[in-house]
Amino acid sequence: MITAPHASAASLRPGGYLDRLAARIGVTGTVLCLGIDPDPEMLPDGFTRDAAGVGRFARLVLEAAGPHAAAVKVNVAFLERWGSAGVAELEAIRAATPGDLPFIADAKRGDIGSTAVQYARALFDTLGADAVTLSPYLGADTLAPFLERDDRFCYVLCRTSNPGAAELQGLEVAADPSIGAPAEPLASRVARRAPRWATHPGTLGLVVGATAPEELRDIRAIAPDVPFLVPGMGAQGGDQEAVLRHGPATAGPVATTAGGGLLVNVSRGIAGAAQGAADPAVALDAAARQWSTRLGVLG
């Protein structure tokens, strides 16, 4: 459990993503982010293994589990794989998302400037996502079209939760006196540099996996005022204690809000409850309630 500071979120941009997220956390009392990754092989009985079935199940997850979450994160690859039919289902999921539930498009985009402009328009303007996930590998200029939007939010991949993350993210890079950086792992350098790329305050966070608790602690020390989106809980076996201890911001305006800008994603840990259940909706509701409590914020 996280103890929520009693200060107001008024110091955040009124109506901005972090302001809305803080309000939602205050209402739900949790930092649970509902992950929707609708794998056709994992659907319960009664759902067809096609775009329509995947979309119908995703909307059921949203309807049954969404009321217990602070935000929803949809992995767009699970819909885009079906072509135009899947994109239509993705748009239907977005349309079904309540207005007070922040919608994150987990797209992991990152490309040269002219391409990034089109990705930003697709995700922010056409789909209407409140926030997106982005890859920093190509450098700051490739994220600029996303970060210039003061009405949206970007989570930059920093230390991911997959088993092979350390292969590149753990490589040591040389000291950089120009920014006061010692020799450190690449993930730490991303944490040090990426917040400097934000065009507007309160528009950039980091993705830091729950499966790397020591790295999460170190990255929080480097970026004390940056919101974290933490995947890797549930099926991936992430360290819940470390996440709730080191995940919330410790400095800046976001640190004074409920949850400290932290979101902890759970996907299969909730959706998997529907498999074999007599009533999938009831099972999803129960699983989401459990995770909401485990990731709760104490007043």
Q: Which residues are catalytic?
A: 108
Contact 111, 146 (CB under 8 A): no
DSSP-assigned letters across all residues of 20-74: HHHHHHHHH-B-EEEEE---GGGPPTTS-SSHHHHHHHHHHHHHHHGGG-SEEEE
Residue 53: what residue type? G
CA–CA distances in Å: residue 219 to residues 60, 151, 223, 245, 264? 36, 26, 6, 13, 16
Helix (H) or strand (E) holding 294: helix 280-294
What per-residue string of b and e applies to 152-171 under the rule 16 or more CB within 10 Å gives b?
Answer: bbbbbbbbbbeeebbeebee
Q: Where are the beta strands (DSSP E) in the chain?
A: 2-3, 32-36, 71-75, 103-109, 131-134, 153-159, 172-173, 184-185, 204-208, 228-230, 262-266, 297-298
Phi, psi of 157 (to 5 degrees): -60, 130
Q: Could you tell me which of 127, 176, 131 has the C-alpha nearest to residue 152?
A: 131
SS3 261: helix
Separation CA 194–CA 190 (nearest Å): 6
